[in-house]
Amino acid sequence: MINVKTSFVKRHPYLTTIFIALTVCVLLVWLSGIALKVFTRHGQSYPVPDFTDMSLNEAQLLAKQHHMDIVVTDSVYIHYRPRGVVLRQHPKSGTMVKKHRHIFLAINTLMPRMVEMPDVEGYSLRQAITVLSAKNLHVGKLSYVSDIATNNVLKQKYNGEGIAAGVEIPSESYIDLTLGLSSSNTRTVIPQVTGYTFTEAKAALAEASLNTGAVHYDNTVTTYVDSLFARVYKQTPAVSQSVIWTLGLKVELWLTKNDKKIK
């Protein structure tokens, strides 16, 4: 009896070779797919925890519990945040990732860069703002007392206490100023700060001899990083170039990350 399979192979050797090669290729692709799924833990992903405001040790412990790896990529200094805490992370919390994914963190440095306090007493407010900015310092609260000249700096303070020129303090600190107020010049206008970040708005208000009052963030701002990019969508009192206000007045601000709120 003739073996049909053997007869076909003998009569069509090239077709048989092609068939075997295709079969092997399909098998290899199938096996590779299985191996890839096992190697990459296909379908197994986990939400990234929120590491913000944690110490580095706390973040590392939590990451280990979630089978993730921490990598510190940046450190900055924010004077009003605790030293050593996590300021921002990537990927952000809630992002689905596989095990052993690297989570990149920026922390608030333990050792901030120090700068020498300049002497701005006797300067005008505008000059003082420029000098402080050159030292990476910011104008804080403005207080007014009777004097012969308006907006002449009478005293400089740090953390509520007078500070002498040459004393080293952390960069990005806020310096409170006591300013003169003459009886003939006690009024200012309210500038437009809608669309500004908090830092920009505070600087603009200071240049207008105004203080920043209460600050409100809407529900689009949930983290410190969000607050950096949030912009003013409402201010009270509203912008006014005709009605004049007392120097040192507090301007209340509302901020959002929703561009549709900003007119």
For the chain, the structural domain boundaries read 1-30, 46-108, 113-185, 187-263
pLDDT for 216 beyond 60: yes
Name beta bridge partners: 90.
104
Mean pLDDT of 3-12: 54
Q: How far apart are CA 136 and CA 218, in angstroms?
A: 29
Please, what is the end-to-end C-alpha distance for the chain in angstroms?
A: 92
Across the range 39-43, mean pLDDT stands at 53
Is residue 229 within a helix (H) or strand (E), and if so which, with residue range? helix 224-229
**Chain position carrying tokens 């500070």:** 163
* Average pLDDT of the residues in 232-259: 91
Opening angle at CA 63, ends 230 and 107, nearest 5 = 45
Q: What is the mean pLDDT of residues 132-139?
A: 93
pLDDT band at 1 (very low <50, low <70, confident <90, very high): very low
Is residue 21 over pLDDT 90?
Answer: no
Q: Which CATH architecture has domain 46-108?
A: 2-Layer Sandwich (3.30)
Intrachain domains 46-108 and 113-185 with the same fold: yes
Architecture of the domain delimited by 187-263: 2-Layer Sandwich (3.30)
The percent of residues in the chain predicted with pLDDT above 90, rounded, is 54
State the pLDDT at residue 29.
76
Question: Quick one: pLDDT at residue 99?
Answer: 83
Contact 124, 180 (CB under 8 A): no
Residue 2 pLDDT > 70: no
- CATH number of the domain located at residue range(s) 113-185 in this protein: 3.30.10.20
Which DSSP category does 133 fall into?
H
Q: Are 138 and 175 in contact (CB under 8 A)?
A: yes
